């Protein structure tokens, strides 16, 4: 008898489920993707004990037909693709028919749904991949999925889960990621009975501001080439480096793109990058959880990013006020209190408990770049280090910068200012 054996179907299913579902956050990811693919306008997520005890995801999407409910826990059951060629034109977040089947294989799952074309809802209960009942229930249009007893049949996997606190953190990061990619959708996250997130539909800028509690709007740049479009929102002087990359609405990881952004934006930067590239030029079927992708034309993708930061990048939207007038009376007074100038290089100002140190050259350069769209001209025509400025000149400079929307970095990617709280200074002095 040979040594190679064909594994039983139930073992193969457990192995496959283990590749897709490693922790509670993976369950949340797959269920939220299903909600978004169902065109939900509102997504509600609730967990207990970091998802070990309970994960519930509720949406107001189009719902699931009664006749389709028993199929959703079957391996390879999907409404997204029909043939191999469809893998090269995938526009949905899910497509392989593995999410619900993998979750059902390692948990007790209840799927309750009402399709928009039906006047009543239906509920399916399954445990360990086996359906236990399908019954009629009252339910609004949309779907509710409740996952309990996660990894009941994989005790080693359950043992290796981190603390509830750590798992909650991963779940929060997952919900935040999809909330950033879909600002038009309302998101609610409840953990251990506490409301962690309550996000109403908004713009990308508003959502970034709300999630990360930023003091200023993020800097925004757009670009495009023959491959596609790119748009980035970034904020310097953030508490850490944090990069989000979305490809056609899908969160992705690509080491080369991450490295590129880090090199361009530097230390302590929050960046949210959106890429729009034809699906047939991307392979999203590389990773079991669809997190990594391969670009068929990687160099053109990097060239597209280069247009965001290089000589060809789209300039800041020129403001008519700055274009047509050099009179300070047309500008609002700055929100900052000028404290002075240091070494004829830095403008020192105060605002809301923080002291700011502005590089006067970069501050002027970003304004001139908005007017001309030319980095070289903007650099050469700007105030230089060593130029003595009056208080009125410094106020005018800050007013023009504020009128641009408070960009965080100069056209070359350098931070315009550094800030420190008065509280931190007093703490250093032992106060």
Domain shared by 353 and 305, yes or no: no
Tokens of 216: 């200023």
Question: Residue 316: left (phi > 0), alpha (psi -120 to 50), or beta?
Answer: beta
Supply the pLDDT for residue 133: 94
- Check which CATH number belongs to the domain holding 191 and give it: 3.30.565.10
Domain shared by 149 and 298, yes or no: no
Structure-model confidence comparison of residues 396 and 176, the more confident one: 176
Domain boundary among 157, 176, 201: 201
Domain shared by 115 and 61, yes or no: yes
Structure-model confidence comparison of residues 313 and 412, the more confident one: 412
- Is it the case that residue 320 has pLDDT exceeding 90? no
Q: How far apart are CA 342 and CA 357, in angstroms?
A: 9
Q: How far apart are CA 279 and CA 80, in angstroms?
A: 14
Let me know how long the chain is. 431
| Residue 188 located in a structural domain | yes
For 331-347, the pLDDT digits (tens) are 455 688 999 999 999 99
Domain shared by 370 and 336, yes or no: yes
Does the pTM surpass 0.75? The reply is no
Structure-model confidence comparison of residues 305 and 7, the more confident one: 305
Tokens of 333: 């007074």
The strand pairing partners of 143, in sequence order, are 59, 113
Q: Long-range CB contacts (< 8 A, 24+ apart) of 377-384?
A: 378/411, 379/411, 379/412
Sheet with 219-224: strands ordered across: 219-224, 229-236, 269-276, 242-247, 250-251
Domain boundary among 182, 201, 220: 201
| Residue 13 located in a structural domain | yes
| Residue 109 located in a structural domain | yes
Structure-model confidence comparison of residues 355 and 11, the more confident one: 355
- Is it the case that residue 7 has pLDDT exceeding 80? no
Q: Which of the four pLDDT bands, split at 50, 70 and 90, describes residue 289?
A: low
Mean pLDDT of the chain: 84
| Residue 2 located in a structural domain | no
Domain shared by 186 and 70, yes or no: yes
For 99-111, the pLDDT digits (tens) are 888 899 999 999 9
Pairing of the two strands 142-148 and 229-236: unpaired
- Is it the case that residue 81 has pLDDT exceeding 90? no
Domain shared by 184 and 264, yes or no: no
For 381-395, the pLDDT digits (tens) are 899 999 999 998 999
For 10-68, the DSSP string reads HHHHHHHHHHH-SSHHHHHHHHHHHHHHTT-SEEEEEEEGGGTSEEEEEE-SS---GGG
For the chain, the domain total comes to 3
Domain shared by 290 and 332, yes or no: no
Could you tell me the end-to-end alpha-carbon distance of the chain, in angstroms, rounded to an integer? 80
CB atoms within 10 A of CB 97: 18
For 94-148, the pLDDT digits (tens) are 545 578 888 999 999 999 999 999 999 999 999 998 999 999 999 999 999 999 9
- Is it the case that residue 321 has pLDDT exceeding 50? no
- Check which CATH number belongs to the domain holding 250 and give it: 3.30.230.10
Domain shared by 265 and 325, yes or no: no
Supply the pLDDT for residue 256: 83
Domain shared by 46 and 183, yes or no: yes
Lowest mean pLDDT among 28-32, 150-154, 174-178: 150-154
Domain shared by 64 and 149, yes or no: yes
Domain boundary among 309, 336, 354: 309
| Residue 206 located in a structural domain | no
Q: How far apart are CA 233 and CA 263, in angstroms?
A: 16
For 187-229, the pLDDT digits (tens) are 999 999 999 999 999 999 999 999 999 888 888 889 998 899 9
- Check which CATH number belongs to the domain holding 393 and give it: 3.30.1540.20
Tokens of 360: 């006067």
| Residue 315 located in a structural domain | no
Q: Which domain holds residue 178?
A: 9-201
| Residue 74 located in a structural domain | yes
| Residue 185 located in a structural domain | yes
Q: How far apart are CA 307 and CA 373, in angstroms?
A: 13
Domain shared by 143 and 23, yes or no: yes
Domain shared by 66 and 188, yes or no: yes
Backbone φ and ψ of 114, nearest 5°: -135, 120
CB contact set of 35 (below 8 Å; sequence gap of 6+): 43, 57, 59, 61, 143
Contact between 179 and 199 (Cβ < 8 Å): yes
Q: Which of the four pLDDT bands, split at 50, 70 and 90, describes residue 314?
A: very low
């Amino acid at each position: 008898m040979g040594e190679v054996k064909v594994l039983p179907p139930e073992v193969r299913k457990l192995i496959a489920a283990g590749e897709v579902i490693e922790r509670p956050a993976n369950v949340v990811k797959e269920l939220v993707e299903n909600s978004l693919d169902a065109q939900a306008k509102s997504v509600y997520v609730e967990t207990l004990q970091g998802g070990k005890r309970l994960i519930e995801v509720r949406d107001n999407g189009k719902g699931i037909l009664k006749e389709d409910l028993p199929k959703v826990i079957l391996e390879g059951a999907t409404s997204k693709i029909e043939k191999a060629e469809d893998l090269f034109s995938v526009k949905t977040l899910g497509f392989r028919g593995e999410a619900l089947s993998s979750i059902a294989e390692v948990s007790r799952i209840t799927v309750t749904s009402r399709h928009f074309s039906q006047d009543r809802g239906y509920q399916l209960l399954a445990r360990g991949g086996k359906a236990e009942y399908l019954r009629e229930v009252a339910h609004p249009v949309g779907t509710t999925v409740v996952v309990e007893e996660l990894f009941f049949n994989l005790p080693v996997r359950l043992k290796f889960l981190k603390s509830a606190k750590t798992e909650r953190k991963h779940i929060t990061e997952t919900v935040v990621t999809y909330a950033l990619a879909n600002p038009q959708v309302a998101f609610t996250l409840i953990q251990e009975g506490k409301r962690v997130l309550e996000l109403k539909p908004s713009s990308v800028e508003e959502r970034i501001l709300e999630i990360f509690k930023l003091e200023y709007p993020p800097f925004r740049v757009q670009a495009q080439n023959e491959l596609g479009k790119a748009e980035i929102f970034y904020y310097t002087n953030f508490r850490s480096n944090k990069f989000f990359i979305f490809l056609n609405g899908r969160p992705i990881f690509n080491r080369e793109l991450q490295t590129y952004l880090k090199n361009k934006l530097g230390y302590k930067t929050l960046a949210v990058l959106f890429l729009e590239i034809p699906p047939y030029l991307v392979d999203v079927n590389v990773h079991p959880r669809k997190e990594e992708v391969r670009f068929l034309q990687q160099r053109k993708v990097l060239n597209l990013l280069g247009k965001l930061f290089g000589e060809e990048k789209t300039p800041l939207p020129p403001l008519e006020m700055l274009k047509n007038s050099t009179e300070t009376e047309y500008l609002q007074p700055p929100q900052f209190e000028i404290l002075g100038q240091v070494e004829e290089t830095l403008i020192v100002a105060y605002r809301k408990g923080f002291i700011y140190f502005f590089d006067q050259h970069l501050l002027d350069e970003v304004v001139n770049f908005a007017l001309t769209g030319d980095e070289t001209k903007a650099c050469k025509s700007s105030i230089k280090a060593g130029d003595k400025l009056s208080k009125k000149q410094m106020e005018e400079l800050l007013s023009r910068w504020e009128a641009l929307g408070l960009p965080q970095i100069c056209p070359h990617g350098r931070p315009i200012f550094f800030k420190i709280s008065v509280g931190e200074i007093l703490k250093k002095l032992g106060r």
